[in-house]
Structure 1
Amino acid sequence: MSMVDPLFEMVKRGLDLQKSGHKAAAQALYRQVLAQSPSHALALHLSGVLAGQMGQLQQAVELLQRSVEINPGDPLAWNNFANALQDFGATQDALHAVSRALAMRPEYVTAWITRATILQALSRHEEAVEAFRAALNLAPDRGAAWTGLWRASMESCQWSDLPDIIPRVQAAVAQDRPALLPFEALSFSEDEALHLKCAAAYAHDIVIREEISPFHHPPRPRNSRIKVAYLSSDFHEHATSHLAVGMFEAHDRSRFETFGVSFGPDDGSPMRDRVSKSFEHFLDVRDWTSASIADHLRSLQIDIAVDLKGFTRNAMASALLRRPAPIVVNYLGYPGSLGVSAFDYVIGDAIVTPFSSQQNYAEKIVHMPACYQANDNRRGIAADAPSRKDEGLPPSGFVFAAFNNCYKITPTFFAVWMKLLREVKGSVLWLICESETIQQRLRSEAVSRGVAAERLVFAQRRSLEMHLARHVHAGLLLDTLPYNAHTTASDALWAGVPVVTLQGQSFAGRVAASLLHATHLPELIAHSLDEYFALAKALADDPQRLTQLKTQLSTHRMHLPLFDTPAFTAAIERAFTTMHDRWQAGLPPEQFSVPALPTPHH
């Protein structure tokens, strides 16, 4: 007669509860098992996975680590340990753990996808392509592997297989559960309805996984000042801080009490120092769970929580899905809807988020008077610019700059750029890309389109001040779609370089158009690929007109709406006040435009 193992039966019951979404009950059962048998590998494993699902990242790592130490022969546990390590930010250790899983079971598809995702996080995109391919050789219909392969191919500028990959991604996205991450959807397609669908599915997963029930804020007496908390993992040397730090500093302290809530690293940079001083209160919460961040903000009686991350890397969306304040705002970090009504408002403008797009936003759209993008009018430009020679540029000839991240470069736009190089004699294309493999790949793409390899020049990484200074050598900045230059475009305009853009159909593809309106240069916005080409070529062929545009930018820089930090801050404060007044009056969020105040004549 066989003996029934009571502990095993409890673990099995726990797993059933876990699968049916009763996480707290499952966790209680696993704890009971571990109290009786602390080295029960399966209970440790399942309990670790569950801790990860509940957002308890450190606990997940500790439990799974004990599980693989006790039972090192379980590839499933190694794969889950790898995922927990990656969520925790220990990416290199995660790669080691998933390699253990694959050494034991080379046909383990999910582990290949885990490996590929970790390699992407390490910017090892060529190897990620190989790992996604390995997964697809084993499971040709795995949607997540197709979408991952597409992203890794774009990141590494491997375009030859895109005609095969894209239809598979479209099929994976058409499912009820779209297989594309929201941020990836923004550069996959211009379809805002698809962006909303991917964001809604992703947010729904977080809510279910972490058992989030949004907090309902009872009415309370008005704070003496409106308390605004900005949440980000980028309060250091990062584009978000470069854009927004001037706004943080310019807030009217007599009416607003500001909180910076940082869940990212402290890189010890001057920018970290400046940002942390720009708020009245600066909270470093990088070791906190999302639930404890939300609880703390509620205890501080924050009126407005502003999410500067959305669904980008190292975001903390689950803290905001818990509604840590009566008003939750999606702003700056994520150019699209976050897909759920837990976010009340998205701050845009008439170009990036026309009210006609409201059906593709879960949030109510708010229009800033000039442009949605904050800018810092104290951004320093180095006095001594590197020379053309320092930058590897030829001594003469027109320089087309395209400083967007590699993944934004599409074969369509690259073909137009090559046509420009063929038609503008002696011109070069100036790109930013550190990987030598990708540089070689782009050079051979150029050669296949009739352009000599040496006409592609790759810029080195430099400090922001030096990067802005070297723009002096650029004639024009060329933009991309579906995902525009955002900070890259405002950097160029601040440094006095005109930008040529093709206005797209979604927020991510309309940012440069918005920036150009806010610098009084709407004539640089094209509405078709042919017009984009013609505009760039006409400017490259007309040095006088170009000099005029550059002078216009440099001379009027401080008075252009895009770079008027005090006016911008006053406008966002009017937006916050309107939101707060509606809440105080018991009214639901509603779309509105912030009126422009008459500007004093300079």
Structure 2
Amino acid sequence: MIEGNRKGGVGVVDPWFEAVKRGLDLQKAGNKAGAQALYQQVLAQNPQHALALHLSGVLAGQFGRLREAVELLQRSVMLNPADPLAWNNFANALQDFGAMQDALAAISRAVEIAPGYATAWVTRGTILQTLSRHEEAADAFRAALSLAPEKGAVWASLWRVSMESCQWGELADIVPKIQMDLAQGKPTLLPFEALSFCEDQAVHQKCARAYGEGILTREDISPFRHLPRPRNSRIKVAYLSSDFHEHATAHLTAGMFEAHDRSRFETFGVSFGPDDGSPMRIRLSKAFEHFLDVREWTNEAIAEHLRALQIDIAVDLKGYTRDARASVLLRKPAPVVVNYLGYPGTLGLPIYDYVIGDATVTPFSNQSDYAEKLVHMPNCYQVNDNRRNIAVDTPSREDEGLPSNAFVFAAFNNCYKITPAFFTVWMRLLREVPGGVLWLICESKTIQDRLRAEASSCGVAAERLVFARRLPLAQHLARHAHAGLLLDTLPYNAHTTASDALWAGVPVITLQGRAFAGRVAASLLHAAQLPELIAHSLDDYLELAKTLANDAERLKGLKRHLSNKRMSLPLFDTGGFTSALEQAFLVMHDRWHAGLPPEQFAVPTLLTSSQ
């Protein structure tokens, strides 16, 4: 890349070549600040230096200055439109900025210039996957693998897009390649992918740690150190999320934010997601004592501001999920940093002091699988807002495309959670429950057709799969009235999907797994006082579903339990949950002020090694 820029034109030597090369050497050695200084010197003398703009744009992206990265890289490709590396990095910057269609156009230019450039095909696949153009994404990943079959992370990407689109035909070839890499200690999977790929918590931890360390290195982060300071009259708690709008996480947490005891806690909502102008956004902006819209801020600026505010406890509601800003938390913007709700697993680095769990999802015996110390909530780790509205007008069965008298098995998890093993069990269930239908949520006609073809191959009529349309939450909750049971998946359970069903009065059948992501529904059922709906093998799961579908009286009893006791069940005690979480915050805060390291404990009974 450097050699191609030694001359600025025919016979013209680039006088800034050596400076740019020294900057690149520093960048590769990890001295990003030194590299940036050299690039800035070059650009001060020659603002049209394409390579300096390119490399400076890459650094800006690594430092989290997303708008600046886009602007610098755009200038670079305009000056040197024949450079496929610059187009690839421009596409990545646009993707990070959220301009997906522009990102697709940029990466299309890169592969047009250099069709043998494997990395560009990977970038193209990732962008198409984000746009839910799954078949095209899979083709791009296959193109990358044809050029560089040793790229283990691309096999992981192909696996992910195959699961999202229910293209299961290639899994027998894809899965062993990923397993081989994992067995060799290579953290091939992104952390969130790992949760869906297997139940091995050591793999989850390894992938999370590698991802977090990658952020620390790429952004050249040195976590803040916090010196003891006088206690504030109130504990300052900041919740960080991109989901403070019409989103599942907001529907779970809004009541908790409102219920905080402001005589003891000063709450901050730190939003780096969109403002959709929805009633939920308005409600959330009022739920916190302070609501900060920081979506245009850099990660560094957000962290510095939280430190300046003297936040005591920073709560990460995203972890390593889409639209997260983990590098804010990895800067240690508060003395205590907590992993809660958004990511069901360890974040892999002890910069995070605690993870909020419970005795079911995070038993203390699993502490070695977590970089954070485990905190047990008394009933269930998942908060629920007991003000969630269920629409009065229920969509009819006809509106939903459901047969008038059929038993309805709802399976409302996202498509990527549906594994071939569970789909096979569901098809067996439909064969053994005559007239029953499977009610799924999927908007893609291609995926719908694919699942119907799978059903036919299992001996089940395609029309017995019914696909629900997307509806606002209140209407979605109301139409649960047509469901007899909600069927869960593994290794990644229903989370909000399961608590929505229970809130709407629909029993949930789950298979309890080994890792956090696969034990959530079991935790919800314990807190709903329905542990009898937790299965421990696929055979038990099938038999339980079949038994309940054929026992109308028993099923009515389960629904009466949920309907009659809804407001008294621990699962839906928003105020009680908030009080317990506040007690947990007090323990964390007191330990830090006492100079004690984080330690696992249960609320309300402390189980610390220091006692």
What TM-score, normalized by structure 1, do the two folds share?
0.98
Aligned mates of 1:181, 1:296 — CA distance in 2 = 29
- TM superposition shift of 1:424: 0.3
Q: Does 1:588 align with 2:586?
A: no
Aligned to 1:15: 24
- Mapped contact 1:370–1:518 kept (Cα < 8 A): yes
Q: Does 1:398 align with 2:407?
A: yes
Aligned mates of 2:519, 2:136 — CA distance in 1 = 33
Aligned to 1:225: 234
Number of residues of Structure 1 aligned to a counterpart in Structure 2:
596
The within-5 A match list for 1:507-546 is: 507-546=516-555
CA displacement, residues 167-191 of structure 1 (integer Å, 9 cap, x when unaligned): 1111233454412100010000101
- TM superposition shift of 1:308: 0.1
The within-5 A match list for 1:412-561 is: 412-561=421-570
The within-5 A match list for 1:53-132 is: 53-132=62-141
Aligned to 2:178: 169
Counterpart residue identity of residue 190, structure 1: E
Aligned mates of 2:439, 2:129 — CA distance in 1 = 25
CA displacement, residues 556-575 of structure 1 (integer Å, 9 cap, x when unaligned): 00000000001000000000
Aligned mates of 2:598, 2:491 — CA distance in 1 = 30
Corresponding residue SS for 1:390: helix
Aligned to 2:396, which of 379, 387, 392? 387
- Mapped contact 1:58–1:88 kept (Cα < 8 A): yes
The within-5 A match list for 1:204-353 is: 204-353=213-362
Misfit runs of 4+, over 2 Å: 2-6, 171-177
CA displacement, residues 368-423 of structure 1 (integer Å, 9 cap, x when unaligned): 00000000000000001001111000011210000000000000000000000000
Aligned mates of 2:505, 2:577 — CA distance in 1 = 20
Counterpart residue identity of residue 21, structure 1: G
Aligned to 2:59, which of 21, 39, 50? 50
- TM superposition shift of 1:52: 1.1
Aligned mates of 1:509, 1:533 — CA distance in 2 = 17
CA displacement, residues 417-461 of structure 1 (integer Å, 9 cap, x when unaligned): 000000001000000000000000000000000000000000000
Aligned mates of 1:455, 1:3 — CA distance in 2 = 71
Unaligned runs of 5+ in 1: 598-602
Aligned to 1:148: 157
CA displacement, residues 134-155 of structure 1 (integer Å, 9 cap, x when unaligned): 1112222211210000000000
Counterpart residue identity of residue 474, structure 1: A
CA 28–527 in structure 1, closer or farther in 2 if over 3 Å, else same? same
Corresponding residue SS for 1:571: helix
- TM superposition shift of 1:102: 0.7
Aligned mates of 1:3, 1:76 — CA distance in 2 = 23
Counterpart residue identity of residue 602, structure 2: S
Aligned mates of 1:213, 1:30 — CA distance in 2 = 23
Aligned to 2:8: none
Return 176-185 or 441-450, whichever deviates more. 176-185
- TM superposition shift of 1:3: 8.7
Aligned mates of 2:370, 2:525 — CA distance in 1 = 24
Q: Does 1:179 align with 2:188?
A: yes
Aligned mates of 1:177, 1:34 — CA distance in 2 = 39
Corresponding residue SS for 1:389: helix
Counterpart residue identity of residue 151, structure 2: R
Q: Does 1:577 align with 2:586?
A: yes
Corresponding residue SS for 1:477: strand
CA displacement, residues 505-563 of structure 1 (integer Å, 9 cap, x when unaligned): 00000000000000000000000010000111100010000000000000000000000
- Mapped contact 1:501–1:513 kept (Cα < 8 A): yes
Corresponding residue SS for 2:398: coil
Aligned to 2:416: 407
What TM-score, normalized by structure 2, do the two folds share?
0.96
Aligned mates of 2:213, 2:549 — CA distance in 1 = 48
Aligned to 1:600: none
CA displacement, residues 5-53 of structure 1 (integer Å, 9 cap, x when unaligned): 4410111111111100010111111111111111111111111111111
Aligned to 2:211: 202
Corresponding residue SS for 1:119: helix
CA 596–386 in structure 1, closer or farther in 2 if over 3 Å, else same? farther
Cα-Cα RMSD: 1.1
Aligned mates of 2:185, 2:25 — CA distance in 1 = 25
- TM superposition shift of 1:498: 0.2
Aligned mates of 2:190, 2:446 — CA distance in 1 = 26
- Mapped contact 1:571–1:596 kept (Cα < 8 A): no
Aligned mates of 1:434, 1:260 — CA distance in 2 = 32
Aligned mates of 2:183, 2:172 — CA distance in 1 = 17
- Mapped contact 1:147–1:172 kept (Cα < 8 A): no
CA 281–112 in structure 1, closer or farther in 2 if over 3 Å, else same? same
Aligned mates of 1:71, 1:37 — CA distance in 2 = 15
Aligned to 1:366: 375
CA displacement, residues 90-135 of structure 1 (integer Å, 9 cap, x when unaligned): 1111000000001111111100000000011111112111111111
Counterpart residue identity of residue 341, structure 1: P
CA displacement, residues 207-257 of structure 1 (integer Å, 9 cap, x when unaligned): 001111111100000011010000000000111100000000000011100
Aligned mates of 1:5, 1:236 — CA distance in 2 = 50
- TM superposition shift of 1:312: 0.2
